[in-house]
Structure 1
Amino acid sequence: MLVDVPLAHLDRPFDYAVPAKDAATAVPGARVKVRFAGQDVDGFVLARTATSEHTGRLQPLRRVVSAEPVLHPEIAELTASIAERYAGARADVLRLAVPPRHAATEKEPSAAAGPSPAGAPDPATWEHVVHGPAFLSHLGSGAAPRAVWGSAPGDDWPLMLAHAVAATLAGGRGSLVCVPDQRDAQRVSAALDAVLGPDHHVVLSAEAGPAKRYREFLAVSRGARRVVVGTRSAALAPVHDLGLLVIWDDGDDLHAEPRAPYPHVREMLALRATQQDAAMLVAGFARTCEGLLLLRSGWAHELVSTRAVVRDRARVDVVPAEDRAVGSRVPRAAYDVIREGLASGPVLVQTPRAGYAPSLACERCRTPARCATCAGPLVLGGPTTPPTCRWCGTADPAWACRECGHRGLRAPVRGEARTAEELGRSFAGTTIRSSSSERVLTEVSDRPDIVVATVGAEPPAQGGYAAVVILDTWLTLAREDLRASEEALRRWLGAAGLVRPGGRVVAVGDPALPVLQALVRWDPAGFAERELADRSDAHLPPAARLATITGEPGPLDDALTLLDLPEVADLLGPVPLDRAGAAPRDEQRAVIRVPLASGPALSDALGELQRVRSARKLDAVRIQVDPLTI
């Protein structure tokens, strides 16, 4: 019995007696209520046995909540591995694996899948990828190939993934596709409908309501559907006869679970592929250092398009940015590309910030504009609105610089709304469309419009964009983060990948920067090699295993005292936690680093620390293994 108690020292199965009245319904995987520590708590039946190692009297089950087996044996095993890998409690992982029960939905039968797909998977969709048709052939034969695929510009990647799923289904096995967000899930779902036909897959995501989400989960659990596409909430879906696991754009931070024990979808799927002997595809326009490590270890093989295909698909250039002090941020070369692109189709303009003017400064002395009430940064919401504080919302129409007294303002950073306004003046008569977090466009037509989009909100165009322009690359690289360059290239490749074959891509920035040179050459693999080499020299992830412990000074000192680290471990800190822009808190953070080979030993040590702290009821600290940011 697995009891839903998130206490590390009680994180193990317990034996209970099954009353005769519940003998038929207390099946493995069923939800039950049990008495634990003087109260009724939820639990799952792991297995039924005739004997027990417990020498005393067993407590009986209180009742069977539902006879529906929702926790399958392979998922139960996987949750244990994930909890061990991330030094967390198994109960927290179970909440990710099994959605909340919806009693009325559970009584409904799951409709059978539609008729078998009429057509076979088409290897032609993968012909331009070296060894791509062979990968599909292995999937169809029941093998378990594992690959890291770098998509080429203009690839219809949802359709290509759909044919990989079709090949797996033709071999009698199921598939699971994890994407970063709901828009990507809808694109893959539409491609699966086109290739497999309707009623062959389900979409699992957090955006679905409780009833719909549970209904789709039950369809998978009961074997009515063997193809699942979804966001990170779908990573532990109980697909029957699992044959293929796919993660698209594994560098997107949406794949990292924000709740304890903070697992990453890529790592969960890799563990699952190993345990269930399934194929795995790590796919995306960019390549992460973690994906490169999978290739170096021999666990996966590379799938890429030839250089000739990449050259034919898109021409990528970098043009120097003009002096921002003059007020022009779009150089003449970029304007020319936009004008040429509009002659044949839509043009995408990517800008890293939303809003109108998300940052303001004094026009004369360049001092950042601050709120007189709370000292927060001032922003402009539109051309006719007064400066407003981003923190407290106070408007300051009579703002004056505290340093020089000047009342003029300038915008060092311009958002997507201001960019659309500027382009509207430059291209009179052209429709300008905006896509950002406030209103994300799902798709645009092939009309010659200009689409201004923030990062992650770029809508695909029918037939692809005639041209893509990437603005303010300096701002994307300005993040103080270990993965700043890797993340910048991922964002730019994601936008450039939406271009149609033969289209133009222009990035505005410093042509000498290695990350922009990687974009020009469309060489995410080479950039990942250099990035990983630099991180190896500095002993940084993923070349090393890293963990952080965060908490108030007293509890953190207790945790570090109790922690039995491997001899090869480096303890860095503790140091005060930097919370820029947030309310100050008396928290500190310690960083623990070990060589990659000692990663399991570090997880074991942190897991033991969690159990000791839980048993002694010590104050809470937050432990993260392999955090995305340090």
Structure 2
Amino acid sequence: MCPVTGVPPEQPALAGLEVPTPRRRRVAAPPGPAARLPVARVCVDLAPPHLDRPFEYVVPETLDAAARPGVRVKVRFAGQDVDGWLLERVDHAEHEGRLLPVRRVVSREPVVAPQVALLARAVADRWAGTLADVLRLAVPPRHARVEGEAPSDAVPAGTDATVPDAPCADRDADDVGPPAAPAWDAYRGGPAFLRHVLTGGAPRAVWTALPGLDERRWAAAVAQAVATCVHAGRGALVVVPDGRDVERVCAALREVGLLDVADGGVVARLVADDGPAARYRAFLAALRGSARVVVGTRASAFAPVADLGLAVCWDDGDLQHAEPRAPYPHVRDVLALRSELEGAALLVGGHARTVEAQQLVVSGWAREVVADRAVVRARTPRVTALTSVELAREGPAAAARLPAPAWRVLRDALAVGPVLVQVPRAGYVPVVACVRCRTPARCGACHGPLGLARGDGPPACGWCGRLATDRRCDECGASGLRSVRVGSERTAEELGRAFPGVTVRVSGARVAGGVLAEVPDRPALVVATPGAEPYAPSGYAAAVLLDAAVASAGERLGAEVDALRRWLAAAALVRPTGDGGQVLLVGDGAPRPTQALVRWDPSGLAGRELDERVELRLPPAVRVAALTGTRDAVAAVVARVEVPALEVLGPVPQPVDEQRGPALEPEVRALLRVDPAGGAALARAVAASLAIRSARREGGTVRVQMDPADLL
């Protein structure tokens, strides 16, 4: 390089040689648009609410065959490649400017079936969410290897893929010859519901299931209803809380002749816990039409079942049915929307009844399917509530956690079979207090609650995990501790000492053995937390429900109804009164769920709870939008919501969450309340306000939830 000019030297060409000319790079002309339906409307997988609308792109001629509605695509957005779902193709664009082309088709599988796209839009509108958020819940992540396991030209969902030799849905039920359904004979309205399903109708029912351990059990009843629907030539969808219930339903389906897809049948198991490959394989089986029945957990409510004829939601009060991610839909309500959109029958069942299900019955939207009182008394065990009034004659012994009457029932029942002991809390001793002044013990670092993980160890913080080896009470200076709440592991230890030589099994998510699916009929004590009760083939000889006051306490909405649901779930596993089955509720629980358990009357408690909510204007008697976040952000969103007859409650400060740290800005919550008729308008107005907030990039944080369960 020249030190003066800074220009690098050039080698001059030699005389007589031809100077080479640089080759011009040939640029290929971009492909033209597709000749037919050249415009694609794409849902771009982006979070901002103001982008919740389809965007238009040109379909290149080279992607014409692959770019079908429902496929995953890559498109250019804001200078980068993003994922999206192709919703539809049209002739003309609404946008007047130049359209960018679709970059590529990620997969030829139309994973967003037309009925699922319609349902996802309805779910987003009802819960003030975005379509992209719902589609992320509905469509499992792609698994390329699984896509290559079956031919890609299989029948997609939404097309005519009826079961071979299936009877026509419009034929009379007497000519069809439906499969036997003995489990439904005991219910008032049960056989009529199945007849409507068989003839292609769309009945909607709220079913209060009876206990049963044979062909009358709840899983057998669900399987018989599904078999009736499949016999009518339509598909079925069953959504249950967890994998154990999925296995029970699949086993019952095998008993009625409906085998798994892997065995040449029509049943697909769609559970996230099975792993991404198994989940995507089941999803594709339903999408391609080879699976006419889908049994799964929460996300399977969006499964692309072809020609859906029956949707079943079992135990709708279980918290597993509530989606913890935005826009927080509930399986029961998703299936109710799907029932209306696709003309399918809906069955909401459980041993208990939620207030939301009771609202469906009271409003006339659904009919109840229940058994007569004589049948209930014959099929249920004998229930006794051992409250302080009942135990008054025991004297000081009445204060024992396991009083003498309960101990005698355990001793006698162990002679004839296994006994279930339900404990509302897991762990060893999850909460401790000062032995002298009864002040709850707190961690010195983060002020979290102290508990014992085992009997011979020091107390540890339940938040940060620090050990409190040299702790002293801040009030009185004492170092001793006493138990406030006793968990399942400590209960199992105490029962093992009280009944030496008896096998003690513990079932729970936190114990070493995990949640047990089933226990043998041999005499044993089975200690389980709510929801982890294993089955016994012949039923439990007795069940003892401990700490009733703890189980039914709480200020949250529906605490009493949920306590009854947990008690009934355990009591339903006990043998009926005629076979000596007994259930003991120990402790001073709330009066209303205690009485409802003794009478086995879940609908009565749900009806009284609904009447109170109507008077107090609480969900589901009204629609409520809860906005939680920083004060200025919440106030800005609320100010833009304009709905007739809108009530604005708050904003009010929220309790400080010590686990989140003191540095965060304090949060407030505002409630927007309207009558049920204005619920759709409220959701639209809140979504529009959030879109404006997103487009303006307003500061702060806001979380929106429609009809939250933790309203109180």
What's the TM-score bracket when you normalise by the shorter of the two chains? over 0.9
Secondary structure at the counterpart of residue 238 of structure 1? coil
Q: CA deviation at 1:373?
A: 3.7
Aligned pair in 2 of structure 1 residues 605, 408: CA closer, same or farther (>3 Å)? same
The match for 1:489 among 544, 564, 570 is 564
8 Å CA contact 1:436, 1:453 repeated in 2: yes
Tell me, yes or no, if structure 1 residue 300 matches structure 2 residue 358: no
Aligned pair in 2 of structure 1 residues 18, 316: CA closer, same or farther (>3 Å)? same
Partner of 1:125: 183
Q: CA deviation at 1:57?
A: 3.0
Secondary structure at the counterpart of residue 684 of structure 2? helix
Aligned pair in 2 of structure 1 residues 405, 41: CA closer, same or farther (>3 Å)? closer
Tell me, yes or no, if structure 1 residue 230 matches structure 2 residue 296: yes
Partner of 2:241: 180
Partner of 1:356: 428
Moved more, 385-394 or 490-499: 385-394
The match for 2:198 among 124, 135, 140 is 140
Unmatched runs of 5 consecutive residues or more in structure 2: 1-40, 156-161, 167-176
8 Å CA contact 1:162, 1:192 repeated in 2: yes
The match for 1:546 among 620, 624, 631 is 624
> For 1:597 and 1:86, how far apart are their aligned partners in 2?
15
Secondary structure at the counterpart of residue 336 of structure 2? helix
> For 2:270 and 2:539, how far apart are their aligned partners in 1?
27
Aligned pair in 2 of structure 1 residues 12, 407: CA closer, same or farther (>3 Å)? closer
8 Å CA contact 1:129, 1:304 repeated in 2: yes
Trace 1:151-162 onto structure 2 (pairs within 5 A). 151-154=209-212, 156-162=217-223
> For 2:449 and 2:398, how far apart are their aligned partners in 1?
23
8 Å CA contact 2:549, 2:589 repeated in 1: no
> For 1:627 and 1:369, how far apart are their aligned partners in 2?
32
Trace 1:68-79 onto structure 2 (pairs within 5 A). 68-79=109-120
Trace 1:492-507 onto structure 2 (pairs within 5 A). 492-502=567-577, 503-507=581-585
Q: CA deviation at 1:580?
A: 4.8
Secondary structure at the counterpart of residue 88 of structure 2? coil
Partner of 1:346: 418
Fraction of identical pairs, as percent: 54
Partner of 2:57: 16
Moved more, 3-12 or 460-469: 3-12
Aligned pair in 2 of structure 1 residues 581, 229: CA closer, same or farther (>3 Å)? farther
Aligned pair in 2 of structure 1 residues 326, 158: CA closer, same or farther (>3 Å)? closer
Aligned amino acid, residue 593 of structure 2: V
Q: Deviations over 1:295-350 (max 9, x none)?
A: 12222111011111211122111111569998721122222222222122111110
Partner of 1:626: 707
Aligned amino acid, residue 63 of structure 1: R
Q: Deviations over 1:200-222 (max 9, x none)?
A: 21111221222211111111100
Tell me, yes or no, if structure 1 residue 474 matches structure 2 residue 546: no
Moved more, 566-575 or 259-268: 566-575
Q: CA deviation at 1:10?
A: 2.2
Moved more, 154-163 or 91-100: 154-163
Q: CA deviation at 1:114?
A: 11
Trace 1:97-136 onto structure 2 (pairs within 5 A). 97-109=138-150, 121-136=179-194
8 Å CA contact 2:382, 2:576 repeated in 1: no
Q: Deviations over 1:500-541 (max 9, x none)?
A: 223111111337812100011111111011001111111111
Partner of 1:191: 252
Tell me, yes or no, if structure 1 residue 612 matches structure 2 residue 687: no
Q: CA deviation at 1:435?
A: 0.8
The match for 2:672 among 578, 592, 606 is 592
Tell me, yes or no, if structure 1 residue 565 matches structure 2 residue 632: no
8 Å CA contact 1:511, 1:517 repeated in 2: no
The match for 1:242 among 286, 294, 308 is 308
Partner of 2:357: 291
> For 1:63 and 1:471, how far apart are their aligned partners in 2?
60
Moved more, 26-35 or 81-90: 26-35
Tell me, yes or no, if structure 1 residue 526 matches structure 2 residue 619: no
Aligned pair in 2 of structure 1 residues 394, 66: CA closer, same or farther (>3 Å)? closer
Aligned amino acid, residue 489 of structure 2: A
Moved more, 11-20 or 211-220: 11-20
Trace 1:565-584 onto structure 2 (pairs within 5 A). 565-580=642-657, 582-583=659-660, 584=662
> For 1:257 and 1:536, how far apart are their aligned partners in 2?
25
Tell me, yes or no, if structure 1 residue 257 matches structure 2 residue 312: no
> For 2:140 and 2:656, how far apart are their aligned partners in 1?
33
Q: Deviations over 1:544-566 (max 9, x none)?
A: 111111111222222223x2232
8 Å CA contact 1:124, 1:133 repeated in 2: no
> For 2:107 and 2:557, how far apart are their aligned partners in 1?
47
Aligned amino acid, residue 315 of structure 1: R
Q: Deviations over 1:7-35 (max 9, x none)?
A: 22221222222111111111111111112
Q: CA deviation at 1:267?
A: 0.9
Aligned amino acid, residue 105 of structure 2: V
Tell me, yes or no, if structure 1 residue 414 matches structure 2 residue 480: no
The match for 1:370 among 439, 442, 454 is 442
Aligned amino acid, residue 681 of structure 2: A
Tell me, yes or no, if structure 1 residue 395 matches structure 2 residue 467: yes
Moved more, 488-497 or 316-325: 316-325
Q: How many positions carry a matched residue from both structures?
A: 628
Q: CA deviation at 1:120?
A: 5.9
Q: Deviations over 1:212-267 (max 9, x none)?
A: 11111111100010111111110100000100001111111111111111111111
Aligned amino acid, residue 673 of structure 2: R
8 Å CA contact 1:573, 1:589 repeated in 2: yes
The match for 1:515 among 584, 593, 598 is 593
Q: Deviations over 1:33-53 (max 9, x none)?
A: 112222222222222233333
> For 1:351 and 1:136, how far apart are their aligned partners in 2?
38
* TM-score w.r.t. length of structure 1: 0.95
Aligned pair in 2 of structure 1 residues 324, 56: CA closer, same or farther (>3 Å)? farther
Trace 1:388-467 onto structure 2 (pairs within 5 A). 388-438=460-510, 439-467=514-542
Unmatched runs of 5 consecutive residues or more in structure 1: none
Q: CA deviation at 1:364?
A: 2.4
Aligned amino acid, residue 560 of structure 2: S
Aligned pair in 2 of structure 1 residues 375, 221: CA closer, same or farther (>3 Å)? same
Moved more, 597-606 or 393-402: 393-402
Aligned amino acid, residue 144 of structure 1: A
8 Å CA contact 1:350, 1:495 repeated in 2: yes
Secondary structure at the counterpart of residue 361 of structure 1? strand
8 Å CA contact 1:180, 1:255 repeated in 2: yes
Aligned amino acid, residue 484 of structure 1: A
Secondary structure at the counterpart of residue 607 of structure 2? helix
Bigger relative contact order, structure 1 or 2 (CA pairs below 8 A, ≥6 apart): 1
Tell me, yes or no, if structure 1 residue 601 matches structure 2 residue 659: no
Tell me, yes or no, if structure 1 residue 555 matches structure 2 residue 630: no
Partner of 2:385: 318
Secondary structure at the counterpart of residue 46 of structure 1? strand
Q: CA deviation at 1:398?
A: 4.3
Moved more, 576-585 or 274-283: 576-585
| Structure exhibiting the larger radius of gyration computed from Cα positions | 2
8 Å CA contact 1:319, 1:511 repeated in 2: no
Partner of 1:66: 107
Aligned amino acid, residue 9 of structure 1: H
Q: CA deviation at 1:70?
A: 0.9
